[in-house]
Amino acid sequence: MRILLDECLPRKLKSQLPGHEVVTVPEAGWAGKSNGELLALIPGEFEAFVTIDQNLVHQQRLSGLPFAIVVLSASSSSFADILPLAPALREVLEDVSPGDTTIVP
Give 25-82 pLDDT, tens digit per residue: 999 999 999 988 999 999 999 999 999 998 887 776 777 899 999 999 999 999 999 9
Q: Within the chain, what is the greatest distance between any pair of CA atoms? A: 33
Query: How high is the pLDDT of residue 66?
Result: 95
Q: What is the dihedral of CA 88, 54, 37, 66, to 10 degrees?
A: 40
Q: Please, which pLDDT band fits residue 9 given cuts at 50, 70 and 90?
A: very high
Instruction: Name the DSSP class of 58.
Output: H
Domain containing 15 equals: 2-104
Query: How high is the pLDDT of residue 55?
Result: 82
Q: What is the dihedral of CA 78, 80, 81, 86, to 10 degrees?
A: 110
- Identity at 21, one-letter amino acid code: E
Structural domain total, the chain: 1
End-to-end Cα separation, the chain, in angstroms: 22
